[in-house]
Amino acid sequence: MSPRGVGLRSREGWRALRVLALTSGTGGGHDARAEAFRQWVAHLYGSAVEVRIEHALENASPWNARGVAFYNAIQRHAPWFHHLYYNLGEAFGALQGAEVRVGAAYYDALLREFRPDVIVSVHSMLNRGHFAHAKRRLGRAVRCVTYCGEFSGGYGFSRHWVAPEADLFLGRTEEALGAARDLGLPARKGRCLGQLLMPAFYQPPMEALERASYLKDELGLEPDRFTVLLATGGASAQNHATLVRQLLAPAERLQVIALCGKSGPARARLETWRRRHRALALAILPFSEDMHRLLQVASAVVTRPGTTTCAEALRLGCPIVFNRIGGAMPQEHCTLRYFRARGIAVEMRSTAQLGRILATWIDRPLEYRRHRAQLRALRPRDDPEALIRAVIEPRYSLADVVSQPSDQAL
């Protein structure tokens, strides 16, 4: 089916449908989902739909900006402290209610200037107050949609994901959708259409020769060695320098790709360490847009239990070692709960555990292949095109539809 565009006819002629995507740089998952939404919209509708991504917390107020910076700082240095931060955030959201109390002037100016037809929130603190505020300013016709990226409910699933003013709630999983219904979401407003990942994750898988070439030519590694990917999130939370020391002993049997995110100092420390320990084959990368390839050439990924990397690894069938050193944030418990329920949660709470886990998989290849097969059998049935259409198309009649095929390939 060729993609069609949606636009609005007015007295002045045709204009693009305007979508405001609300996100925040707390971690990196929210921004990743907002960007994935933008790319899918561009693929399906081309210039018929204009998407504006807005960091509606930190841009609205210096106080919010400090809160976001503090969130990312404790994620890097003291994940356990997020239990206090999370509960304070829940209390703040309850006090705010159906209002935007901090940064209202900024949000008002944004709504007046952009005048969105659809507002999509990918952040738990950008739903209830922001939706109610927009409907008061723009009228009830503005369509408000929440995409929740959590894997499951329970502790760590914010009550603020559910907004009475939302026209549609999209859950990543049936568990997340069920948690939203437990918090009062009407059944008619909720749907589960799977994960919202970048279009690159839905391309045909790499062939064996392509994987070997990528490892050798792009990363300078061996094509046939057990490859460990040390991942990091948007906040560059990592302890790679500590972890690579644990991999010196089995260095002749494995190789490592270390993603350093946007942290220049972390990358410099690893570069210095690599010059002193050449026995371990180590590729060091900054922030990368190549996760869809890196996860296909990796034998395993070591990552915090955040939603984005775990969702990407699940999509591509790459075994995960959950890095719980320093504790797990409340939101990360939602991810762990989902993987534990399916018997595929491999967790490490100390650096020494990583070496033992990897040695077991290398020494017992049948056990490793069984775990990988179990993970791949549980890959969700995502339908990102149906997800985007559920956001964009229901509000508009056939008279509003304008033929405008996209020229952007997937």
* Alpha-carbon span 40 to 37, nearest angstrom: 5
pLDDT tens across 174-229, in order?
999 999 999 999 999 999 999 999 999 999 999 999 999 999 999 999 999 999 99
Q: What is the mean pLDDT of residues 265-271?
A: 81
User: Model confidence at 369, in pLDDT bands (50, 70, 90)?
Assistant: very high
> Which range has the worst mean pLDDT, 188-197, 268-277, 297-306, 328-337?
268-277
CB 161 within 8 A of CB 180: yes
Which sign does the torsion angle of CA 120, 126, 131, 134 carry? Answer: negative
- Amino acid letter, residue 352: A
Q: Look at residue 287 in the predicted model and tell me its pLDDT.
A: 78
- Amino acid letter, residue 161: W
* Alpha-carbon span 213 to 207, nearest angstrom: 10
Q: Look at residue 42 in the predicted model and tell me its pLDDT.
A: 95
Q: Look at residue 87 in the predicted model and tell me its pLDDT.
A: 84
Residue 397 predicted with pLDDT over 70: no
* Alpha-carbon span 63 to 100, nearest angstrom: 14
Q: Look at residue 233 in the predicted model and tell me its pLDDT.
A: 63
Contacts with 365 (C-beta within 8 Å, 6 or more apart), sequence order? none
CB 38 within 8 A of CB 54: no
Residue 409 predicted with pLDDT over 50: no
Residue 236 predicted with pLDDT over 80: no
User: Model confidence at 238, in pLDDT bands (50, 70, 90)?
Assistant: low
* Alpha-carbon span 313 to 201, nearest angstrom: 10
CB 389 within 8 A of CB 328: no
**Domains of the chain and CATH, by start:** 7-197+382-400 (3.40.50.2300), 200-377 (3.40.50.2000)
pLDDT tens across 137-165, in order?
998 889 999 999 999 999 999 999 999 99
Q: Is 359 exposed, middle or buried (0-12, 13-18, 19+ CB in 10 A)?
A: middle
| CA distances from residue 53 to 123, 173, 186, 320 in whole angstroms, order as listed | 12, 24, 27, 30
> Which range has the worst mean pLDDT, 4-13, 14-23, 234-243?
4-13
Q: What is the mean pLDDT of residues 305-328?
A: 93
pLDDT tens across 9-34, in order?
544 457 889 999 999 988 788 999 99
Q: Look at residue 109 in the predicted model and tell me its pLDDT.
A: 95
Please state, rounded to an integer, the average pLDDT across all residues of the chain.
Answer: 87
Closest CA to 169 of 181, 157, 158: 181
pLDDT tens across 108-139, in order?
999 999 999 999 999 999 998 999 999 999 98
Residue that wins the pLDDT comparison between 405 and 6: 6
User: Model confidence at 398, in pLDDT bands (50, 70, 90)?
Assistant: very low
CB 255 within 8 A of CB 282: yes
